[in-house]
Amino acid sequence: MKNILRLVLILFVAQLLLHAQGAPPQGAANQPYSVEYYYKVQWGHQQEFLQLFLKNHYPLLRKMVESGRMNSVKIETPANHMTEDARWDYRVTIQFKNSTLATTANPDEGRIIKQLWPDQATYTREEQRRFEILLAHWDLPVTDITPAK
């Protein structure tokens, strides 16, 4: 019985912490919605990853901006070193038109991929390689909480 009570207490405290540290929700339904995508690449393969990303993924992201699904795409790399556990090599920040577009599949994506890369065998092989040299990838929705002036 003590173990059950201890487990219930731990779960209760964990739930409180999750709610206390969670990011505030982004704005209204039809407001821009930003997500940061982090990539950690195997040592020595950062340039290869970036070249493949710019060749086989960035053009798709640009098409999404042109279509109005996304407002902007920004690619960054850190200027200084971090500890290995905190290291990331590339951050891609995408501002979507709204949260619905950010969290639902794009029905046109397959068609656009075939249009941009008619040689699907090469595209598939290069995308597979891009993910082979990837150690970690995570997505982080972010909320701008800067006070209005």
Please report whether residue 16 resides in a domain: no
Please report whether residue 12 resides in a domain: no
How far apart, in Å, are the Cα atoms of 49 and each of 63, 77, 100, 119, 132? 20, 12, 29, 20, 10
| DSSP bridge partners of 37 | 92, 139
Please report whether residue 102 resides in a domain: yes
pLDDT of residue 139: 96
Please report whether residue 21 resides in a domain: no
Task: Please give the Cα distance from 67 to 51 (Å, whole number).
Answer: 24
CATH code for the domain of 39:
3.30.70.100
Q: What is the pLDDT along the chain (149 residues), one digit of tens a residue?
A: 655 545 444 444 444 434 434 444 556 678 999 999 999 999 999 999 999 999 999 999 999 999 999 999 999 999 998 999 999 999 999 999 999 999 999 999 999 999 999 999 999 999 999 999 999 999 999 988 899 88
Regarding pTM above 0.85, the answer is: no
Q: Kindly tell me the sign of the dihedral angle through the C-alpha atoms of 107, 112, 114, 115.
A: positive
Domain coverage including residue 103: 31-142
Domain count, the chain: 1
DSSP alpha helices (H): ranges in 1-149? 2-21, 46-56, 58-67, 99-103, 109-116, 120-132
